Structure 1
Amino acid sequence: MKKNFLVKSAGIFIALYGLLLNGYAQKSQSASQPNFILIFTDDQGYGDLGTYGNPTIKTPHIDQLAAEGQKWTNFYVAANVCTPSRAALMTGRLPIRSGMQGEKRRVLFPDSKGGLPASEITIARLLKQKGYHTGIIGKWHLGSLPEFLPTRHGFDYYYGIPYSNDMDRVDSIPYLQAITQPKNEYFQVPLLRNEEIIERPAVQNTLTERYTDEAIKFISKNQGEPFFLYLAHSMPHVPLFANEKFKGKSARGIYGDVIEEIDWSVGKIVEALKKNGLDKNTYVVFVTDNGPWKIFKELGGSSGPLYGAKGNSYEGGVRVPAIFWGPDHVTPGQVTEIGSTLDVLVTFANLAGINLPNDRVFDGYDLTTVLNGSAEKSPRNEMFYYHASTLVAVRQGPYKLSFYENSEKGYPDQLKKLEKPKLHNLNEDIGEAENIADQHEDIVEALSTLAEEHHKTVVPVVSQLDIL
């Protein structure tokens, strides 16, 4: 009897020990595969956050991310309007390489027949190679036909709107009236869950809140396995719809109300990570898609000290706020080196232990060594500024050479080629006020050569945005 008891006890001990070892192995595997949360806002300016100098909009949660993580002050998107910017973020490639830029149309519309080609590799599709659960919550804007939806591009789950919140406007309502005096029924924008429309028109006053709830559910559901969450807010793109809980709370008016709700959302995401014990193994990136839409005045944002806005390639149109946070991974500080949304895919791939395919050109750089503090210099030292398919400017180090000009207020607007390129030292002249081309002919020549060499790497493809 005693012998049988000992045998049974030994068997139970071995089984328990095996479970403990298995649990430890799973934990170690999870630790080697960090989670990624990418928070993307729409038309938010460089000067629309407290940590970037806004004097009236209160953003304590985002400011805390910046204080505990890295705030980048020379961070760029690859395009000055929605669709091409988002394509670059998702693929790590300039939009001109994937056909996600257009001359007739700058962005995709509800009746567009094109979208992100199936041949492109998104962050989601790449991470799924390593067993990541992938979800997008919010605005997609890379094609609204079934074959272009997120579920066809590597995302396991989708909850959001397929394009901008000012689209699908009722014809009888003038655009300006719909924007300045918005009502949900003025815009027949659909809300989708995966590939099914679950609400039309989307009730926009509560979208940010519902996006946040969905994000928290996604985090909780996938806490046992590595995940990638792309939270792409619809706001502060006009029309501005304020949640009743935030309406009238900001000194900046309805625009500030909307930003402060997004800040609340960021706080809830971090809270959910901590509640589920995931904060030490998760990278959170906060960035926006382009500069503020200044033609809408107080309904648009601020580019702060930068010149320009959404729709142009002055700094205010393409330099954006960017914050990287990860308590055990990101060395806190302010980074004044050059970075770009093009770098996100390449960086995530390296952190997840994924080799990039060699069958295409990637325009991103791996920022890992800057994030972890092992290097001060960014591997990116140049930036190419595109307006649709036209290369309008190039930056190397502190110097930016511009070949074209257009309106400071931006989209919609036309380019005008300069008789002579303009040169600015962005470290000393952040507002692009002083043209120093005549004093630095050697730098003008070097940057012109850089632009020419870059052109040689671009192979023309069909524009998906111009397919009608």
Structure 2
Amino acid sequence: MAAQFRHIPAAKHHGPRTDEESLSWVREGVSGNKMAGVLWMVVLSAVLPMISRADDRPNFVFFVADDLGIGDVGCFGNDTLRTPNIDRIAANGAKLTQHLAAAAVCTPSRSAFLTGRLPVRFGMAGTDRPLAYIFLAAPSGLPRSEVTFPQMAKDHGYQTALIGKWHLGLNCKWVGDHCHHPNKFGFDYFYGFPGSNAPECDPDNVTAGATGKFAADRIYTRFRVWEVALSVFLGLLALKYFRYVQWKTVIVFSVVGWSTVICTYAFWANGRQFNCVMMRDDDVIEQPYDVSTMTPRMTLEATRFLEERKAKKEPFLLEVSYWNAHTALLPYKEFRGKSRHGLYGDTVEEMDWSIGVVMATLERLGLTNNTFVYFTSDNGAHMEIGDAGGWNGKYKGSKGQGGSEGGIRMPTLVQWPRKIKPGTVVTEATSQMDIFPTLAEILKAPLPQDRVMDGRNILPLLGGAKKPSPHDFLFHYCGDRLHAVRYRPRKGKVTWKAHYASYNWEPGTTRCGVDRLVCFCDVPFVTWNDPPLLYDVTNDPTEDRPISADSNPKYREVLDVIMKAVAEHRQNLTEVPNQFRIPLFFPRPWLQPCCNFPYCNCQEKVDLSPLKITAQ
């Protein structure tokens, strides 16, 4: 066989051969040995398509902003914030004008993005209160049974990294088990914060806007755990008085109850120390972290990851998950006072700078043409915190309002020069859950068959196909309550939206008020509609004109179809453990990450000079 292989003629040109040319080349070289020729043809017929597909596979870079409104980005209509690098992605690729988050708060939204599934299917939808993961020392988090698209990419030979925010849990039974850690869900490398950037992470508490003293004085009093503990204690005393229980029972339950109160208050009142934690893989490297240096450090890590992948010629999937522009608002010193919108605008422009550095690195390394770049936000701007929050453009509603366009319609862009034409605009309804099946299509990977996948492949739409959304229906949840439903008939051009809940905004506004921080999902924050209010969001995207039987003859027909779909959807939901139930909500001291026990205090030293940081 080796002797025959040496007589194979050289290629007649230097370009890549087609599969047919390669097979012809083999036939000529092995003509003296028919069996060898047949064998080579069989082997190469199987291998060459696989090699071709491997060469066609792109790299992936995902930029995920935090609490960024669709009205905060230049290419979506903002002319007072400078976002040239984000806008350049739109110019070089596709702009998705009706791209929707599966929830209007961080934790459920991010879990849906990674899994391609509605959070209510695996217990991550939240409840009316709480809506998101709060304590690092709580045992709740993304269930290990879930499959993520980073895991799929890793299984197909990609090196994967998450740089920045996780917010999907950390530990289960002890501080080092890291059962909810990003490394357990497909990320080979993690550099960032397992929780979230919150107002408490500001050491001076001056950038939290209307949130004030976030932890101990406001949120804690909403749950009033101390009132519950006191009521239980008094009830036990009454039972003891009537001789229904023994003193031992009173003492045990009182100790447990008050320990829960004291522990919870301690974690809330010292949130910066306990929750503002930076990690590199399994190690805590900074506690509490310095928010002001976070974006430059993340940017440096991202560029190093790309350079290492290029040097090793490895395909990669990189997610850069920013804290920008979630309070606490502490941009790096070079960006402060440079925008026209205070610290909020400064943080948005800082993020745009970072994205520019990462994109320039791709270009410098010759990776741009075959890299799938995706930019989005986890949920809408937080209007309730005034100047510390962003803008949702013409769309009503805010962060936390899972049925409102302002809470879930995201500024989203996709660039892939090899497949997506510059200036493409996708107006059909799409979802962040679509990323999983779209990547599966690109990688020719099978989707999980043992679960319901809510995402759909949107590659044809990104390629410019003039066709309806792949979604007949999109179900919009607030916590575990269904607030609205989108319906896209296969015929026509109209997308309908039925609102089962309306938000009780402050008069003259589309926010719930600065004294509330966020709209919750049930009364008194919402009013339930029976029948639901119906809107044509194609021609009335601001939802100013509800459809009625008198104004549109299709009213009853459309509403009947939606209500039937809702009934079928609810039948297809299975009961799963709720990751936000009260027993999992409270922090456990033995789950608290700590870099320097018992002080839990350390600082990472990083040389940022290679970045040459300058504001726009």
What is the TM-score of this pair, normalised by structure 1?
Answer: 0.90
TM-superposed CA distance for 1:384, in Å, is: 0.8
1:217 to 1:59, Cα distance in 2 relative to 1, 3 A: same
Match among 170, 174, 180 for residue 144 of structure 1: 170
Secondary structure of 1:271's match?
helix
Residues 199-231 of structure 1, C-alpha deviation per residue, up to 9 Å, x if partnerless? 011111111111111111111111211111111
What is residue 497 of structure 2 aligned with on the other side?
Answer: 400
TM-superposed CA distance for 1:413, in Å, is: 2.6
1:261 to 1:300, Cα distance in 2 relative to 1, 3 A: same
Report if the CA contact (8 A) 2:426-2:462 is conserved.
no
CA distance in 2, matches of 1:356, 1:420: 37
What is residue 105 of structure 1 aligned with on the other side?
Answer: 130
Residues 18-61 of structure 1, C-alpha deviation per residue, up to 9 Å, x if partnerless? xx99xx99995653221111110110001000101112101111
TM-superposed CA distance for 1:172, in Å, is: 11
Match among 373, 382, 386 for residue 477 of structure 2: 386
TM-superposed CA distance for 1:108, in Å, is: 0.8
CA distance in 1, matches of 2:205, 2:61: 38
What is residue 417 of structure 1 aligned with on the other side?
Answer: 528
CA RMSD of aligned residues (A): 2.5
Report whether the alignment pairs 1:427 with 2:538. yes
Larger Rg: 2
TM-superposed CA distance for 1:154, in Å, is: 1.2
User: What one-letter code is carried by the residue in structure 2 that aligns with 1:369?
Assistant: P
What is residue 217 of structure 1 aligned with on the other side?
Answer: 304
Report if the CA contact (8 A) 1:404-1:418 is conserved.
yes
Match among 423, 429, 450 for residue 338 of structure 1: 429
1:422 to 1:374, Cα distance in 2 relative to 1, 3 A: closer
CA distance in 1, matches of 2:478, 2:130: 12
What is residue 3 of structure 1 aligned with on the other side?
Answer: none
Once the two structures are superposed, the pairs formed by residues 120-131 of structure 1 within 5 Å of their partners are 120-131=146-157
Secondary structure of 1:251's match?
coil
TM-superposed CA distance for 1:139, in Å, is: 0.3
Report if the CA contact (8 A) 1:92-1:346 is conserved.
yes
What is residue 60 of structure 1 aligned with on the other side?
Answer: 84
Secondary structure of 1:283's match?
strand
Once the two structures are superposed, the pairs formed by residues 78-117 of structure 1 within 5 Å of their partners are 78-103=102-127, 104-110=129-135, 111-117=137-143
Secondary structure of 1:321's match?
strand
Report if the CA contact (8 A) 2:117-2:454 is conserved.
yes
Report if the CA contact (8 A) 2:201-2:291 is conserved.
no
What is residue 311 of structure 1 aligned with on the other side?
Answer: 400
Report if the CA contact (8 A) 2:57-2:442 is conserved.
yes
Using the TM superposition, name which of 27-36 and 339-348 deviates more.
27-36
User: What one-letter code is carried by the residue in structure 2 that aligns with 1:402?
Assistant: H
Secondary structure of 1:320's match?
strand
Number of equivalenced pairs? 446
User: What one-letter code is carried by the residue in structure 2 that aligns with 1:159?
Assistant: Y
User: What one-letter code is carried by the residue in structure 2 that aligns with 1:314?
Assistant: S
CA distance in 1, matches of 2:277, 2:444: 37
Report whether the alignment pairs 1:262 with 2:287. no
Report whether the alignment pairs 1:119 with 2:145. yes
Match among 195, 219, 226 for residue 163 of structure 1: 195
CA distance in 2, matches of 1:259, 1:426: 28
CA distance in 1, matches of 2:50, 2:472: 39
1:200 to 1:460, Cα distance in 2 relative to 1, 3 A: same
Report whether the alignment pairs 1:194 with 2:307. no
Unpaired segments ≥5 residues, structure 1: 1-9, 15-19, 180-184
CA distance in 2, matches of 1:372, 1:427: 21
Report whether the alignment pairs 1:456 with 2:571. yes
CA distance in 2, matches of 1:399, 1:437: 13
Identify, as 1 or 2, the structure richer in helix.
2
User: What one-letter code is carried by the residue in structure 2 that aligns with 1:128?
Assistant: K
TM-superposed CA distance for 1:171, in Å, is: 12
1:267 to 1:382, Cα distance in 2 relative to 1, 3 A: same
User: What one-letter code is carried by the residue in structure 1 that aligns with 2:138?
Assistant: S
Report whether the alignment pairs 1:291 with 2:380. yes
TM-superposed CA distance for 1:457, in Å, is: 1.5
1:25 to 1:201, Cα distance in 2 relative to 1, 3 A: farther
What is the TM-score of this pair, normalised by structure 2?
Answer: 0.69
Unpaired segments ≥5 residues, structure 2: 1-5, 11-15, 18-47, 172-177, 215-269, 489-494, 513-517, 586-616
1:32 to 1:356, Cα distance in 2 relative to 1, 3 A: same
Residues 154-177 of structure 1, C-alpha deviation per residue, up to 9 Å, x if partnerless? 110000011111176699979734
What is residue 182 of structure 1 aligned with on the other side?
Answer: none
Report if the CA contact (8 A) 1:338-1:382 is conserved.
no
What is residue 203 of structure 1 aligned with on the other side?
Answer: 290
1:207 to 1:30, Cα distance in 2 relative to 1, 3 A: farther
| Aligned-pair identity (%) | 35
Residues 332-381 of structure 1, C-alpha deviation per residue, up to 9 Å, x if partnerless? 31110111100001101111121112111100000111222345433224
1:156 to 1:305, Cα distance in 2 relative to 1, 3 A: same
TM-superposed CA distance for 1:455, in Å, is: 1.3
